[in-house]
Amino acid sequence: MPWAELVGHETARAALRRAVASDRVAPAWLLRGPEGVGRRRVALGFAAALACPRRAVAGEAAGEPCGSCPSCRRVALGTHPDVEVHGREEGRRDLDVAVVEGLQRFLERRPMEATRRVAIVDEAERLNEAAANKLLKTLEEPPGHAVLVLLATRVEGLLPTVRSRCLQLPCRPLSAAQVDLCLARAAMPAQDAAWYAAVSGGSPGRALRLAAARARERRGGLLGAVLDGGARSGPFLEAARPEGASPTEAREAVAEALEEVARFYRDLSAWCAGPDVPRLRPGEEARLAARGPDGGRSLRLASEALAAARAIRANAGEEAVVEALLAVIHEEVAGEP
Element (H, E) at 252: helix 247-273
* Run of H or E including 224: helix 204-228
Q: Which is nearer to Zn ion, 82 or 332 (CB)?
A: 82
Instruction: Please tell me whether residue 50 binds Zn ion under the rule CB under 5 A.
Output: no
Q: At what angle do helices 318-332 and 295-313 cross, to 10 degrees?
A: 180
| C-beta closer to Zn ion: residue 75 or 223 | 75
CB of 21 to Zn ion, least distance (A): 14
Cα–Cα distance measured from residue 134 to residue 126, given in angstroms and rounded to the nearest whole number:
14
Count the site residues for Zn ion by CB under 5 A: 6
Give the H or E element holding residue 306. helix 295-313
State which of residues 47, 72, 176, 324 lies at the interface with Zn ion (CB under 5 A).
Answer: 72
Within 51-70, the residues that bind Zn ion by CB under 5 A are: 52, 54, 65-66, 69
DSSP string, 255-300: HHHHHHHHHHHHHHHHHHHSTTSSPPPTTHHHHHHHH---HHHHHH
Choose between 78 and 170: whose C-beta lies nearer to Zn ion: 78
Name the DSSP letter for residue 111: P
Give the residue with the Cβ less far from Zn ion, 72 or 254.
Answer: 72
Q: Which is nearer to Zn ion, 75 or 289 (CB)?
A: 75
Closest approach, Cβ 124 to Zn ion, in A, equals 27
What is the C-alpha to C-alpha distance for residues 190 and 298, in angstroms, rounded to an integer? Answer: 33
Cβ 118 to Zn ion shortest distance, Å: 14
**Segment lying near Zn ion (by CB under 5 A), choices 44-52, 179-187, 220-228, 291-299:** 44-52
Provide the binding-site residues for Zn ion, judged by CB under 5 A: 52, 54, 65-66, 69, 72
